[in-house]
Amino acid sequence: MTNISSSDAQVDLLVRKYKDKIEMLYRPKVVWLFGSRASGAATKHSDIDLIVVSSRFSSVRHLKRRSTFLRETGLANEYDLPVVDPLCYTPEEYSAGLQQPTIVAEAIASGVRLFGQEFVAQTGRIEP
């Protein structure tokens, strides 16, 4: 996987518009794009699937993480982008998900790293 070199204008807009804010609020270890937008099979109705790994999620109940992330970043009210669907994990949950067949392992195997190369290198999962 490499940093985004996508021809998907919606993903490019997400990164340009929200990367700094996401990094400031969450200091993510890594953010992955997966699903149809990563594979190039997106239609105009496809959502943007993300895995966001941050220590900050340890203080947020698992069921509240998605809505909290969308609200705090402003993505909940973003109308220039398709729906953003983040899966929010702590570094420990992310690492555990790499050890077995989970959506984390599957997403990384076929996904695109948007940012967070250093942490990915530490977990040994730059490439599937």
The answer, yes or no, to whether residue 126 has pLDDT greater than 50, is no
CATH number of the domain encompassing residue 62: 3.30.300.90
Please state the domain count of the chain.
1
β-pairing, 48-53 with 30-34?
antiparallel
Tell me: pLDDT of 122 over 70: no
Instruction: Tell me whether residue 70 is in a domain.
Output: yes
The reported pLDDT for the residue numbered 120 is 55
Strand partners, 3: 113
**Residue 43 belongs to what domain range?**
9-123
| 4, part of any domain | no
Is residue 30 included in any domain, yes or no? yes
The tens digit of pLDDT for each residue in 80-117 reads: 888 999 999 999 999 888 888 888 888 888 899 998 76
Q: Are 102 and 109 in contact (CB under 8 A)?
A: no
Q: Which two tokens stand for residue 59?
A: 């203080």
Tell me, yes or no, whether 1 lies in a domain: no
pLDDT at residue 2 in the model? 39
The model's pTM: 0.85
Q: What is the share, in percent, of the chain residues with pLDDT greater than 70?
A: 85
Length of the chain: 128
